Amino acid sequence: MGPVARVPFRLHADAGVVRGDIRFPRLADSATPADRLSDTALVVCHGFKGFKDWGFFPTVCEELAIRVCCPVISFNFSGSGVGPDLGTFSDPEAFATNTFSREVSDLEAVLDGMSAGRLGETMVTPPAHVGLLGHSRGAIAVVLVGSRRPEVCALATWAGLARPHRYAELFPPETDPDRPVEIRNMRTGEILLLKRDVLDDLRENQGRLDPLAALRSGAPPLLVVHGARDEAVSTEDAEMFAEAGADAELAILESTGHTFDVQHPFVGSTPALGRAISRTAAHFRKWVPKELYHA
């Protein structure tokens, strides 16, 4: 029996089904997500073409659960395109019509469920203190939601996208407005379609979906971790996040890229991933209060 237990959950959100996992340190053989745990929890959000079981995410969640000594929740956004099998893009229509507002709504649903003590049919300890971590596109939902939820005490972004309007670059202006663009999954070679729903959402909710404005309006302490050789999201985005946050720490990791030298399937940690985990665990230990329940 390992030091970290995993309990899956399935939650119905406004936009669709959110499938996730709760990982928690085993404080006793009889421990469940609803007893003998701290009143702190962390939530981890994946990015574009990512999912909760991609590459480093399971290891990151286990390491944070051990190092911060609290439950860690990870989940697939309802628009991720990853279906019930949890490993393939078996729901391409959800991927095609996904939006930033939908991801914000999914994260809100997870936090609401945690506050109510229930994620789907799975009982949890309602946390008084929450930390949020978002990778790549997931950083936007983390910042937007974390900036306005009173229980969120700390934020962290990994390779975070600070400019959601970059998605407009995927749609050449001369193309048919009803024609989706093709997104290649470089790992599998499959082609995924992306419709203009994401652009319509950004236009209709321009002010509400600005993560930099959210940080400037007041946000919890923020850790910004970014690879100096990130091929997908520029370090300029990291600098924008750090400048916008009133209490922000910027950690540029040299000689690594968007996924910290990790690929999928996961074959082991890397020095860059180890540094990212260590910095993030220290950040959450510093800023997220924690008291242990003893049943």
pLDDT, tens only, 155-170: 999 999 999 999 999 9
* Phi-psi sector, 261: left (phi>0), alpha (psi -120 to 50), beta: left
pLDDT at 26: 81
Class of residue 28 by CB neighbours under 10 A (exposed 0-12, middle 13-18, buried 19+): exposed
By C-alpha distance, which of 229, 277, 278 is closest to 253? Answer: 229
Can you give the pLDDT at residue 176? 78
Tokens linked to 194: 């992306």
Q: Which pLDDT tens digit goes with each residue over 124-136?
A: 989 999 999 999 9
Write down the pLDDT at residue 28: 55
pLDDT digits (tens, 9 = 90+) for 130-156: 999 999 999 999 999 999 999 999 999
Angle, to 10 degrees, between the axis of helix 100-116 and the axis of helix 138-146? 50
Q: Where are the domains of the chain?
A: 4-287
pLDDT of 36 reads 45
CATH assignment, 4-287: 3.40.50.1820
Quick one: pLDDT at residue 294? 37
The pLDDT tens digits of the residues spanning 37-93 come to 568 999 999 999 999 999 999 999 999 999 999 999 999 999 999 999 999 999 999
- pTM to 2 decimals? 0.95
- DSSP E strands in 160-212: the ranges are 181-184, 191-194
